[in-house]
Amino acid sequence: MDIQKEIFLKPYNTFGIDAKARYFIEINSVEELRQALQLEEYPEKFILGGGSNMLITGDINALVLHINIQGIEIVEEDNDQVILKSMAGENWHNLVLWTLEKGYGGLENMSLIPGNTGTAPIQNIGAYGVELRDTFVSCETINVADLTLKTFTKDDCRFGYRDSYFKNEGKGKYIITSVTLQLTKRNHRRNTSYGAIASELEKKGISDPKIKDISNAVITIRQSKLPDPKVLGNSGSFFKNPVISESEFHTFTKDHPNAPFYTISDNTYKIPAGWLIEQAGYKGRRFGDAGIHKDQALVLVNYGNATGQELIDLAWKIIEAVEKKFGIRIEPEVNIIA
Ligand SMILES: Cc1cc2nc3c(=O)[nH]c(=O)nc-3n(C[C@H](O)[C@H](O)[C@H](O)COP(=O)(O)OP(=O)(O)OC[C@H]3O[C@@H](n4cnc5c(N)ncnc54)[C@H](O)[C@@H]3O)c2cc1C
Which residue's CA lies nearest to atom 15 of ligand 1?
A: 53
Give the per-residue pLDDT at 223: 94
3-state secondary structure the chain: CCCEEEEECHHHCCCCCCCEEEEEEEECCHHHHHHHHCCCCCCCEEEECCCCCEEECCCEEEEEEEECCCCEEEEEECCCEEEEEEECCCEHHHHHHHHHHHCCECCHHHCCCCCEHHHCCCCCCEECCEEHHHCEEEEEEEECCCCCEEEEEHHHHCCECCECHHHCCCCCCEEEEEEEEEEECCCCCCCCCCCCHHHHHHHCCCCCCCHHHHHHHHHHHHHHHCCCCCCCEECCCCECCCEEEHHHHHHHHHHCCCCCCEEEECCEEECCHHHHHHHCCCCCCEECCEEECCCCCCCEEECCCCCHHHHHHHHHHHHHHHHHHHCCCCCECCEEEC
For the question of residue 237 being annotated catalytic, the response is yes
Q: Is the dihedral of CA 32, 37, 43, 45 positive or negative?
A: positive
Residue 102, pLDDT score: 98
Ligand 1 centroid to 54 CA: how many Å? 7
Active site residue 190: no
Distance CA 66, CA 35 (A): 14
Cα 235 to averaged position of ligand 1 atoms, centre (Å): 9
d(CA 266, CA 191): 24
298 lines ligand 1 (CB under 6 A): no
Q: What is the average pLDDT score of the chain?
A: 96
162 is catalytic: yes
Side chain identity, residue 55: L
pLDDT, residue 194, reads: 82
Q: What is the pLDDT of residue 93?
A: 98
What is the rounded CA–CA span in Å between residue 13 and residue 256? 38
- This prediction's pTM: 0.95
* Beta carbon of 54 within 6 Å of any ligand 1 atom: yes
Could you count the other beta carbons within 10 Å of the beta carbon of residue 196?
16
Say whether pLDDT at 133 is over 80: yes
**Nearest Cα residue to atom 20 of ligand 1:** 115
Catalytic residue among 86, 138, 215, 237: 237
CA distance 4 to 63: 9
Using CA positions, which residue lies closest to atom 17 of ligand 1? 114
Tell the residue nearest (CA) to atom 53 of ligand 1. Answer: 235
pLDDT of residue 78: 98
**pLDDT at 207 exceeding the cut of 90:** yes
Residues in CB range of 324: below 8 A, 6 or more apart:
280
Q: Write the residue with the smallest CA distance to atom 11 of ligand 1.
A: 125
pLDDT in tens, 3-61: 999 999 999 999 999 999 999 999 999 999 999 999 999 999 999 999 999 999 999 99
Closest CA to 51 of 89, 101, 15: 15
Question: What was the pLDDT predicted at 101?
Answer: 98
The pLDDT assigned to 264 comes to 87
Q: 51 in ligand 1 pocket by Cβ < 6 Å?
A: yes
d(CA 194, CA 70): 32
Q: Which of 13, 112, 113 to mutate to test the pocket of ligand 1 (most atoms within 8 A of CB)?
A: 113
pLDDT digits (tens, 9 = 90+) for 141-187: 999 999 999 999 999 999 998 899 999 999 999 999 999 999 999 99
d(CA 227, CA 319): 22
CA of 105 to the centre of ligand 1 (A): 22
Taking 80 as the threshold, does the pLDDT of residue 195 lie above it? no
Residue 27 Cβ < 6 Å to ligand 1: no
Could you give the CA distance from residue 21 to residue 5 in angstroms, rounded to a whole number?
Answer: 7
**Amino acid 233: pLDDT:** 98
**Per-residue exposure over 291-315, b if at least 16 CB sit within 10 Å of its own CB, e if not:** bbbeebbbbbbbeeebbbebbbebb
Q: How far is the CA of 251 from the centre of ligand 1 (A)?
A: 34
Q: Mention every residue, 6+ apart, whose C-beta is less than 8 A from residue 116.
A: 49, 50, 67, 88, 89, 90, 91, 92
